[in-house]
Structures are given as C-alpha cells and as structure tokens.
Amino acid sequence: MYDVTIIGAGVVGASIARELSRYMLKTLVLEKNIEVCQGTTKANSAIVHGGYDAYEGSLKAKLNVWGNKLYSQLTEELEVSFDRIGSLVVAFNEEEMKELEVLYKRGLNNQVEGLELVDGDRARELEPNLSKEVIGALYCSSAGIVCPFNMTFALIENAIENNVELKTSEKVESIEKLDEGFKITTSKSEYKTKYIVNAAGLYSDKIANLIGDNEFEILPRKGEYRILDRNAGDNVTKVIFQAPTKVGKGILVAPTVHGNIIVGPTADNVDSVEDTTTSSSGIEKVDELSRKSIPNLPLNQSIRVFAGVRASSDKKDFVIYPSKNAKGFINVGGIDSPGLASSPAIAKYVAKLLNEQGLELEENPSFNPKRKAILGFEHMSLEEKKEILKQNPKYSKIICRCESITEGEIIEAIKRPAGARTLDGVKRRVRPGSGRCQGGFCAPRVMEILSRELNIPIEELVKENHGSALVDSKIKGGDR
C-alpha cells in the first residue's frame, strides 16, 4: 500500500513527487510513456513568467507569483540553469499601451515584483534590437528562463534519491475506490494507494473520469515554434512578448539558457492532444510576428521547427481540487501557461490539499534537497577538464561536434536515476543532436552507446516513445 500515487511525470508531477519526498511517505509515480518529460513539458516556451497576466484572484495568479519566487532557491539546490533576465511586453500603438496599463495594474494587484511601464526609448535601451515602431513596454525584471527538460529530470532524480518510486510505460487503465484508498490497474500491474494525485497533463480529464469526475475538460491548444542556432543568440537578451490576445500571450522571442533563440508559439485549438504537427502557415505566422518585434531577427539561422500541445481547460484557470466523488483523490488539471513557472508552488499547494484530506505530513529527517548536475565538458575550466579526464577517460571522446558533447556525459545521462532510455531522452538531458545538424552526425553513435549501456539490441531502440523505432533491421551479414 502506497501512501500517495502520482499519475503523470511532467514538470508538475515531478515537482509534486519531489515536494512529497520531504515527508515520511511511500510515494509512487506512474508514467505511461517510456520516460518522464514526454508530454507538454517537452515542448513549451521555457519561460518563468512574472505573474502579471493572470487575472486577480485566480489560481494562476497566486501560484505563478509564488512559484516564481521559489525558483531561485530551487534551481540552486538542483543545479539547474535559471536566468532571471526579465521580460518586455511591447506595444506598437496607443490601444496596446492601454492594454499594458491593464497588465501593469493587474501585476501590482498580484504582487508581482519588478514591474515598470517604460517608453519606447527606454525599451530599446533594455533591448537594443527592438523595432523602432515600439512606443512603450511593460518591463518585468523578475521574469526568467529555464530548461524545462533539465528542470523535470532534476526534480525526479532528487525525488528518487529521497526514496520516491518511479514506474514508466505504465498506462493507468482503471481506478477503483476501496474502503481504504484506491486500487489502480495499469497496463502492467496493480497498485493500492491511500491517496492519488492526478497530474496527467493532456490526459488529466480522462484520469478524472475514471473515478466519476466530469467537472473539467481538456481543450488542447497547439503552439508552433522555431529554434535558431546559437550563433543568433546575441540578437535578444530578454523575453519579448507582444500585447496578449484572448488565446494567449502572443508570439514571443526569447533567448534560451543554452544560448539559442526560441520564437513562437501560435495558438490553435486542435482535436487531438497528440497533434504535434507543424504547418507552413503556422511557421509563417511565427516568422511574420516575431520580426514585428525584432526586425533583424536572423530566421535564416533556424535549426528546427516543432509544435507542442497545451493542456488548456474549459475552466480558463488551473483546475486543482479534491474530488467530490472520492476522498483522497486530487485533480491537478488544466495546467497550461504559466504552468512551468507555477510548478514549484503547485507542488506545495497539492501537499497542503493532501494534508487537509487527512494525509499526515511528518518531515523526513534524511531529506536531501541537493542534486548534482551532469558536468558539461564544454563549460569546464582547463583544470576541471584535466581532472575529469583523469577520473573518466570517456570524457575525451567527442560524440556531438555541434554541441561538443562527450561520451562521458551521454553515459552519465543514461546511468542517472530515471535515466535516458531513448534517443530524444539523451538529447534532452545533455544535448547531442541539439545543434546545427540535429543529430545527422551523432545520432548513430548515440544509439550505439544507448544499446551498449542498456544492453538491448539496437533494433529495439526508439527515438522517443512506443512506435518510433529508429532501425528496422540489420543489414544482412552486418554486425550493427
């Protein structure tokens, strides 16, 4: 019998797992995919929003501002790159300036730190490549950027190191209410648990339906993006938004913690939560509107386009509440933007709800909040490189030329708690395949390392998830 079972291992589920590992609990995380971080978390804007956009009194407002404040200490403990670079919401006319004044007042009511309305000249001092057509901006110095992949991996690693259990490739098929707790049946096994947290992202409404909850519906919204080469990284230094619309925060241009530029997203309602297709019309919209903000943006240095699906709900707010049908079941649904920014606060809020439902939260005296990051060879000093090569000669072999990723880093990504099991899993942890050639050179070599370290045939490796095989069969007479 587990104390708590969390369904879903995106950044929200991982945050909750890590938060519950502070207490003397037997906690289980169930994930239907091969690895963690394979849903909405794998494809979003990577922004830690300030909190001025969410309406006063909403859960989004409360948890965004709270979560933002938690990020500095949390990322320091987990050794995750986080840069509080600030954001600008830009206006091109007086009508949009009125919208910025609304956002400014809302931000003050939400107790957002570092808010300032500035004119066009001041905006261009803060971001020199801004369009000359910008007449003003809302500046938020507390906004930042983070890698959602590394954030999720760090959270789940730290949770596992503090005795949380993770089981992947286990799709939840049914949930039965027992006299004490629940019985969860997955595609592989059965589990009994006293409490359940439904953090299933795009499928959170379907999981809620399993215990008779029909209070919210996920309305998937697709966003298309473009990623620019690191050579283009100096073109922007802050997160640049345009005045928001009814469907989102508009097209943004922002640096990433890895030195690239991310541009997007669109905001299109789609029928399927799995619709991550890109379109020429969507990318053309991204290009046109991004250049409105940054006219000289070198879109010809694009290295990838992709799409993600947001778990928006019909409630227009985060849907976090204890089920009325089954005591001990907590729904955590509708986590679209600003979900990444809010995730540390969502975790604490859920822990509080569980406690109110009867879960005893006795502090774990052996809880260790610290996690060591994988050492990036490219970013080491000369002395650090000499030392790591003495300890592990695998760091002498460069596998990914574009990003200067070594075999040692790839092996570490595989060997970690909740380590990489797929080609994209390695890519998201240590970035081989994230550069100009997008894996054209290094993918076969990464596959060989995965096959060797996991001791599985190369034909069984997948790019990302079930059904994405990389190799059909060996060439007759070939040894690989």
Q: Which amino acid is at 100?
A: L
Distances (CA, A) of 73 to 147, 158, 164, 408, 465: 16, 15, 21, 28, 33
- 466 catalytically annotated: no
The beta-strand segments (E) located in 111-242 are 115-119, 136-140, 144-146, 165-167, 172-177, 182-186, 190-198, 221-228, 239-242
> For residue 72, what is the enclosing H or E element?
helix 59-78
Closest listed residue to residue 322, CA positions, set 314, 308, 333, 338? 333
Rounded distance, CA 260 to CA 317, Å? 31
Number of Cβ within 10 Å of residue 424's Cβ equals: 22
Candidates 49, 258, 379, 466; catalytic one? 49
27-30 and 172-177 beta bridge pairing: unpaired
Q: What is the DSSP string of 141-174?
A: TT-EEE-HHHHHHHHHHHHHHTT-EEE-S--EEE
Quick one: angle between helices 148-161 and 59-78, nearest 10? 70
Rounded distance, CA 222 to CA 276, Å? 7
Torsions phi, psi for 469 (to 5 deg)? -60, 145
Rounded distance, CA 237 to CA 342, Å? 23
Number of Cβ within 10 Å of residue 47's Cβ equals: 24
> For residue 412, what is the enclosing H or E element?
helix 407-415
Number of Cβ within 10 Å of residue 187's Cβ equals: 10
Q: Which position has the token pair 């040894």?
A: 479
Rounded distance, CA 137 to CA 98, Å? 11
DSSP for residue 104: H
Structural contact between residues 423 and 433, judged by C-beta atoms closer than 8 angstroms: yes
As annotated, the active-site residues are 49
